[in-house]
């Protein structure tokens, strides 16, 4: 049994555990079979010959373990050019969470260089140190200190250089604003003049002298988004905006259902189109053409017959996910389980018990920029620009798919149009590279919205059973919590309960599933915090008071009190048209409490007000954090109220924005964010936890107004049950 208490401090292990397994497509390319070339305008059909890369097959299996060790020399992380420009290298990537800005601030802080002099190279597998990926709210707690250490070491190295240069006493030298100044002689030299662009060879100190957050001057301030101007002028190049000379536009021919195999293929009509290349390799069918419109027409002209096995449907989803997995879960560490005290004794000492079931639907991430990639083969080397949270993992996927060594693959990640946990994989990269290989030209592939809704992986659906026992005085004495399929993140309760049995049960998922902002923590928080309200009702205690009574953790108590205070909790009474709810969360080192007010009008639920308090240690960028928290609330409204993927027999039934409702302006509540800045604590990430307490707060507010307890996500896709009354 692996317990959740066996938490490891080793970051790599920790990151692996944060990353729920994402089922990968197996493309199984043969690489040489049936590549049809229609030379531009020439009308000649040729068949591609066997691939020279086949000879290097062994390379793809080579696992470069050394690569995963973080480099200790400054130059791997940071370079100062002769003109003083600082280039910083990190494998983390920017998807709107604003880490390009927050990491730059931390470098500026420790290096003592102006923000404007610093440029981050992010997620380029040829230039940046290895990184497992940008997920699990890990950038702030791991990459932040890493870059602060490198910057502090560089700063000390620069002071050494200046001391040698001037033959001066080191203690009289001060680093500030990109320069070293001798406070005695008033001599001053810029960083660039000192390094002359040479590498700083000093190794980083394990325990460098870092600024305490209370002394931060640049970190801890609301530095505006780096390159903000490039975004409001449309000049920023997302992956889908990249164009290479001679580039073709790709389009994949998709099967009509999941798990399909290709039965027959007629490409004759597509082949006849000028400037079109058709590729079939195993179950992969795609085209590349001189422009996107032609590529679309060619793909439509292909006649493909697929056979698909009979597959499960949404109607039986919540029975299906209760079935135990038949294949071993590749979740590292095995299925998490936590026990404390004696659950049997807990229940026998309880005055009242409660048993409830909560369900969570499949949803999609819907990043506004769909998956996209531009792939180019040159001299046996593959270069791919793609929007992914895991450039190094995508590089490995490409090396494996094309059976070439990893060092023949370079993946670059331009700052991308969002991900929310949905872009861990390299489907578009592999597909673009396969087409480019056949075409002998660069190929750009941008998934359509329908493809993104269908062929990207989903946030897992699940069922959660909660059984609890409580004493008359409101002390929870037994807590049994079983999560089926939705996931183990955020499984543990933040409340002090003596007797617990908590367990995650993996299944063979009906749909391809993977990470989503917060992984399963929002689902587990939903079940837990709705159940808490139900227990409060059972013992006739006020929901805030009931939570406080079972809460020992001072940080959790502080956020709950702060949210209640901002919201004015208890100041207004529930009525049939207006309800108030509260919920609490803790995950990934940060704490959240959310109060929600709902308005019920003609069986429709509107969230009119949300007050959220959040604490993630020392805050690196307060305005950026506010933006994340407020954004998580807006995004969370969708999964809470109306987002759901509908499916039947291997087909997605609502793969368009017209059929899949996402939050829009009219859904916007009044949002009040309270940040508790704990400068005495190390900064924790904030991309995920702010979403976690919203759905239960809304459910509890709906109960307050109506007496009905929504126990399924989404809660009110069709409005509240019951007849609509005339307004």
Exactly one of 1, 55, 315, 368 binds other proteins (CB under 8 A); which one?
Answer: 368
Distances (CA, A) of 603 to 277, 480, 598: 54, 33, 12
Cα gap 362→116, rounded to integer Å = 43
Which residues 559-598 are close enough to bind other proteins by CB under 8 A? none
- Residue 165: how many CA atoms within 13 Å on its side-chain side? 19
User: Which is closer to other proteins, CB of 429 or CB of 502?
Assistant: 429
The CB-of-248 to other proteins minimum distance in angstroms stands at 11
Exactly one of 136, 663, 710, 714 binds other proteins (CB under 8 A); which one?
Answer: 663
Exactly one of 13, 39, 45, 657 binds other proteins (CB under 8 A); which one?
Answer: 657
Please work out the total of residues on this chain that contact other proteins, with binding judged by CB under 8 A.
57
The CB-of-426 to other proteins minimum distance in angstroms stands at 19
Cα gap 443→615, rounded to integer Å = 45
Cα gap 375→386, rounded to integer Å = 9
Stretch that binds other proteins, among 54-62, 328-336, 623-631, 711-719 (CB under 8 A): 623-631
User: Which is closer to other proteins, CB of 15 or CB of 672?
Assistant: 672
Q: Work out whether 623 is an interface residue with other proteins (CB under 8 A).
A: yes
Which residues 189-228 are close enough to bind other proteins by CB under 8 A? 224-225, 228
Which residues 293-352 are close enough to bind other proteins by CB under 8 A? 293
Which residues 75-114 are close enough to bind other proteins by CB under 8 A? 95-98
CA 269 to chain centre: 41
User: Which is closer to other proteins, CB of 232 or CB of 727?
Assistant: 232
User: Which is closer to other proteins, CB of 100 or CB of 408?
Assistant: 100
Number of H helices, E strands in the chain: 17, 29
Cα gap 95→688, rounded to integer Å = 13
Greatest alpha-carbon pair distance for the chain in Å reads 87
The CB-of-662 to other proteins minimum distance in angstroms stands at 6
Exactly one of 123, 141, 367, 509 binds other proteins (CB under 8 A); which one?
Answer: 367
The CB-of-267 to other proteins minimum distance in angstroms stands at 21
Closest CA to 428 of 25, 20, 22: 25
Under 8 Å between Cβ of 165 and 190: no
The CB-of-68 to other proteins minimum distance in angstroms stands at 28
User: Which is closer to other proteins, CB of 404 or CB of 446?
Assistant: 446
Distances (CA, A) of 695 to 87, 591, 638, 712: 42, 16, 9, 10
The CB-of-292 to other proteins minimum distance in angstroms stands at 5
Q: What are residue 478's DSSP bridge partners?
A: 469
Under 8 Å between Cβ of 21 and 369: no
Cα gap 143→129, rounded to integer Å = 11
Q: Reply yes or no: is the peptide bond before residue 716 cis, omega within 30 of 0.
A: no
Stretch that binds other proteins, among 134-142, 200-208, 234-242, 480-488 (CB under 8 A): 234-242
Which residues 631-650 are close enough to bind other proteins by CB under 8 A? 631-635
Cα gap 425→619, rounded to integer Å = 30
User: Which is closer to other proteins, CB of 556 or CB of 619?
Assistant: 619
The CB-of-47 to other proteins minimum distance in angstroms stands at 29
User: Which is closer to other proteins, CB of 133 or CB of 704?
Assistant: 133
Which residues 436-495 are close enough to bind other proteins by CB under 8 A? 446, 448-449
Got the DSSP string for 510-568? Answer: SS-B---TTTTHHHHHHHHHHHHHHHHHHTT--HHHHHHHT---HHHHHHHHHHHHHHT
The CB-of-99 to other proteins minimum distance in angstroms stands at 11
Under 8 Å between Cβ of 517 and 367: no
Q: Work out whether 662 is an interface residue with other proteins (CB under 8 A).
A: yes
Exactly one of 329, 561, 608, 630 binds other proteins (CB under 8 A); which one?
Answer: 630
The CB-of-300 to other proteins minimum distance in angstroms stands at 13
Q: Work out whether 628 is an interface residue with other proteins (CB under 8 A).
A: yes
Cα gap 76→105, rounded to integer Å = 19
Q: What are residue 504's DSSP bridge partners?
A: 483
User: Which is closer to other proteins, CB of 80 or CB of 435?
Assistant: 435
Under 8 Å between Cβ of 495 and 60: no
The CB-of-89 to other proteins minimum distance in angstroms stands at 22
User: Angle CA(470)–CA(473)–CA(478) in degrees, nearest 5?
Assistant: 20
Q: Work out whether 385 is an interface residue with other proteins (CB under 8 A).
A: no
- What is the arrangement of strands in the sheet containing 381-386, beginning at the earlier edge strand? 45-47, 35-38, 276-281, 284-289, 248-252, 443-446, 372-378, 381-386, 409-412
From the number of C-beta atoms within 10 Å of its C-beta (0-12, 13-18, 19+), residue 540 rates as exposed
Exactly one of 666, 718, 725, 726 binds other proteins (CB under 8 A); which one?
Answer: 666
The CB-of-516 to other proteins minimum distance in angstroms stands at 12
The binding track of 274-293 with respect to other proteins, each residue x by CB under 8 A or -, is -----------------xxx
Exactly one of 420, 457, 546, 591 binds other proteins (CB under 8 A); which one?
Answer: 420
User: Which is closer to other proteins, CB of 160 or CB of 623?
Assistant: 623
698, 704, 710, 714 alpha-carbon torsion, rounded to 10°: -20
Exactly one of 125, 137, 151, 240 binds other proteins (CB under 8 A); which one?
Answer: 240
Interface residues toward other proteins, by CB under 8 A: 95-98, 224-225, 228-229, 231-238, 240-241, 243, 249, 291-293, 365-370, 415-418, 420, 446, 448-449, 623-624, 627-628, 630-635, 656-658, 662-666, 668, 671
């Amino acid at each position: 049994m692996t317990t959740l208490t066996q938490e490891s401090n080793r970051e790599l292990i920790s990151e692996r555990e944060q990353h729920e397994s994402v089922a990968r497509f197996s493309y199984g390319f043969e690489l040489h079979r049936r590549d049809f070339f229609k030379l531009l305008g020439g009308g000649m059909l040729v068949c591609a010959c066997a691939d020279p890369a086949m000879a290097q097959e062994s390379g793809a299996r080579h696992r470069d373990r050394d690569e995963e060790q973080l480099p200790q020399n400054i130059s791997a992380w940071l370079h100062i050019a002769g003109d003083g420009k600082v280039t910083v290298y990190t494998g983390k990537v920017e998807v709107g969470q604003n880490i390009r800005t927050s990491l730059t601030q931390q470098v500026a802080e420790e290096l003592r260089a102006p923000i404007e002099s610093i440029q981050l190279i992010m997620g380029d597998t040829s230039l940046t140190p290895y990184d497992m990926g940008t997920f699990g709210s890990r950038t702030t707690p791991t990459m932040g200190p890493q870059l602060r250490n490198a910057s502090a070491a560089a700063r000390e190295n620069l002071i050494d250089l200046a001391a040698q240069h001037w033959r001066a006493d080191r203690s009289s030298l001060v680093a500030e604003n990109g320069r070293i100044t001798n406070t005695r002689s008033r001599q001053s030299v810029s960083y660039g003049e000192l390094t002359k662009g040479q590498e700083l060879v000093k190794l980083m100190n394990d325990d460098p002298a870092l600024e305490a957050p209370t002394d931060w001057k640049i970190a801890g301030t609301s530095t505006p988004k780096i390159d903000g101007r490039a975004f409001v002028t449309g000049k920023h190049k997302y992956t889908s905006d990249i164009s290479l000379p001679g580039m073709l536009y790709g389009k994949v021919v998709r099967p009509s259902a999941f798990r399909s195999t290709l039965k027959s293929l007629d490409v004759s009509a597509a082949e006849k189109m000028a400037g079109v290349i058709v590729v079939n390799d195993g179950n992969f069918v795609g085209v590349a053409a001189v422009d996107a419109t032609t590529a679309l027409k060619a793909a439509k002209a292909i006649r493909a017959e697929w056979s698909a096995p009979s597959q499960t449907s949404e109607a039986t989803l919540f029975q299906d996910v209760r079935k135990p997995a038949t294949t071993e879960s590749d979740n590292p560490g095995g299925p998490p389980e936590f026990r404390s005290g004696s659950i049997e004794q807990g229940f026998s000492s309880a005055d009242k018990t409660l048993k409830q079931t909560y369900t969570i639907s499949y949803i999609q991430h819907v990043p506004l920029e769909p998956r996209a990639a531009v792939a180019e083969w040159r001299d046996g080397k593959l270069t791919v620009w793609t929007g992914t949270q895991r450039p190094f993992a995508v590089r490995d996927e490409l090396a494996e798919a094309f059976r070439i060594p990893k060092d023949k693959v370079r993946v670059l990640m331009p700052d991308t149009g969002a991900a929310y946990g949905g872009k861990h994989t390299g489907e578009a990269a592999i597909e673009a590279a396969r087409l480019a290989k056949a075409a002998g030209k660069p190929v750009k592939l941008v998934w359509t919205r329908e493809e993104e809704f269908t062929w990207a992986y989903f946030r897992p659906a699940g069922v959660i059973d909660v059984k609890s026992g409580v004493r008359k005085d409101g002390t929870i004495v037994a807590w049994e919590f079983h999560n089926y399929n939705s996931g183990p993140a955020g499984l543990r309760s933040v409340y002090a309960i003596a007797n617990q049995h908590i367990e995650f049960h993996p299944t063979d998922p009906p749909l391809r599933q993977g990470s989503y902002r917060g992984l399963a923590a929002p689902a587990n928080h939903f079940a837990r915090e709705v159940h808490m309200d139900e227990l409060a009702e059972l013992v006739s205690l006020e929901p805030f008071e009931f939570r406080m009574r079972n809460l020992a953790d001072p940080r959790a108590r502080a956020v709950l009190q702060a949210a209640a205070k901002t919201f004015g909790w208890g100041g207004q009474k529930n009525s049939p048209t207006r309800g108030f709810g509260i919920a609490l969360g803790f995950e990934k080192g940060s704490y959240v409490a959310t109060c929600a007010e709902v308005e019920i009008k003609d069986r429709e639920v509107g969230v009119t007000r949300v007050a959220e308090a959040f604490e993630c240690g020392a805050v690196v960028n307060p305005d950026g954090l506010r933006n994340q928290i407020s954004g998580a609330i807006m995004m969370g409204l969708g999964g809470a109220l109306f987002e759901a993927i509908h499916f039947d027999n291997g087909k997605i039934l609502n793969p368009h924005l017209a059929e899949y409702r996402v939050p829009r302006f009219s859904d916007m509540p009044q949002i009040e964010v309270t940040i508790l800045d704990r400068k005495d604590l190390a900064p924790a990430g904030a991309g995920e936890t702010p979403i976690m307490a919203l759905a239960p707060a809304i459910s509890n507010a709906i109960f307050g107004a109506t007496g009905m307890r929504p126990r399924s996500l989404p809660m009110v896709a069709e409005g509240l049950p019951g007849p609509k009354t005339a307004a």
